[in-house]
Amino acid sequence: MATTLVGTSARRRLPEWIRVRPPVGPQYPQVRGLLATHGLSTVCQEARCPNLPECWSAGTATLMLLGTDCTRRCAFCAVNTHWPRGEVDPSEPERVAQAVRGWGLRYVVLTQVCRDDLDDGGASVLAETVRLIRARCPGTLVELLIGDLAGRERSLRTVVDAQPDVLAHNLETVRRLSSMARDHRAGYDQSLELLGRVKRLADIRLVTKSSLMLGLGEGAEELAEAFDDLRVAGVDLLTLGQYLQPSAAHAPVVRFPTPDEFGALRAVALGRGFAGVESGPLIRSSYRAEELYRRATDRRGA
């Protein structure tokens, strides 16, 4: 989800519980240098995530595949919109695998820009990247955060067959607000259908995950409905975070739920049966991803 601010005037209007820490720790420049060396992009940068300093200082990042230009224009997202006309860098999967090995990661999150200009939505590139990471770094766990792949089951099967440890897809918001916040080619029901198909196509042990933004005007009953819909689709893990307006041209923030409200929603979601829930103003879909994954696997082993 997009997570930047409009400027200093907008920053002054933020509530006190939304504060971004400055870069700290020796790993911050190491992460930045490794990404530059391999010519890789991260959703941390492209979506202007407020957790970038914390995560990079801890030696983690979410790598973005298939370039930096998205073919969709969602009202909440800071990523650049462009039609790449089928251009794909064939070296990207290998460069990502080499970076993961050089990084020595135990857990890596891969995401993508939507690529409606590709017949498979980029599924073959995603799958090849997962396979190469498996070959180069057999001990590394892989989380793959995908778009809706235009609803194509063949494309979904391609990424499922690559056997990531977690397959994530973000519902983003409640049903009523979906058409306002998301590109017209996306949809609430299409996202739920994709998440449900994962369980039908994959071994039941494949962990699935989704994320919702708060602050666009959703109500408590609408959120409860979304939780129930995700559970019907078999989703194991959920993250809830505050939407922050990337620019004046993007959808406005309607309200800022308090940390206590986020805590109460976490309890509601856990009561619906999710194996793990992260909920807070600065939580994003890949925040502390390994910890959330461990909760799901520990629960299954209990």
Q: Which domains does the chain have, with CATH numbers?
A: 8-301 (3.20.20.70)
Q: What is the DSSP string of 127-189?
A: HHHHHHHHHH-TT-EEEEE---GGG-HHHHHHHHHT--SEEE---BS-HHHHHHHS-TT--HH
Q: What is the pLDDT along the chain (302 residues), one digit of tens a residue?
A: 433 333 333 444 789 888 765 555 555 565 566 666 656 655 444 445 555 555 544 545 678 899 888 999 999 998 889 999 999 999 999 999 998 898 888 888 999 999 999 999 999 999 999 999 999 999 999 999 999 999 999 999 999 999 999 999 999 999 999 999 999 999 999 999 999 999 999 977 899 999 999 999 999 999 999 999 999 999 999 999 999 998 899 999 999 999 999 999 999 999 999 999 999 998 988 888 888 999 888 876 54
pLDDT at 102: 85
Non-local (6+) Cβ contacts of 129 within 8 A are 65, 92, 93, 96, 97, 110
Contacts of 86 (CB under 8 A, 6+ apart): 117, 118
Please tell me the predicted confidence (pLDDT) of residue 4.
36
Residue type, 258: T
pLDDT number for residue 284: 84
Long-range own/partner contacts, residues 69-73 (CB < 8 A, 24 or more apart): 69/113, 70/113, 70/114, 70/115, 71/113, 71/114, 71/115, 71/116, 71/117, 72/114, 72/116, 72/147, 72/183, 72/185, 72/186, 73/183
Residue 85, by phi and psi: left (phi above 0), alpha (psi -120 to 50) or beta? left
Cα 10 from Cα 6, distance rounded (Å): 6
Separation of CA 252 from chain center? 21
pTM: 0.87
- Nearest to 276, CA basis, from 259, 289, 292: 292
